[in-house]
Amino acid sequence: MQREENGYIVISCDFCGTDWDEVIPMIEGHHGSIICLSCLQTALDAAAPAEEEFDCAMCLQNKPVGTKHWQHSNPTSSEGLNENAHICWDDIRQAAKAFHKDKDIDFKWDPAKYPPIKS
Binding residues, as ranges, are 13, 16, 36, 39
Indicate the length of the chain as a whole number: 119
What distance in Å separates the CA atoms of residue 89 and residue 69, rounded to the nearest whole number?
5
Residues annotated within the binding site for Zn(2+) are 13, 16, 36, 39
What distance in Å separates the CA atoms of residue 22 and residue 92, rounded to the nearest whole number?
22
Nearest to 69, CA basis, from 59, 79, 81: 59
Hey, CA dihedral for 58, 64, 70, 75, is it positive or negative? positive
What distance in Å separates the CA atoms of residue 10 and residue 1, rounded to the nearest whole number?
8
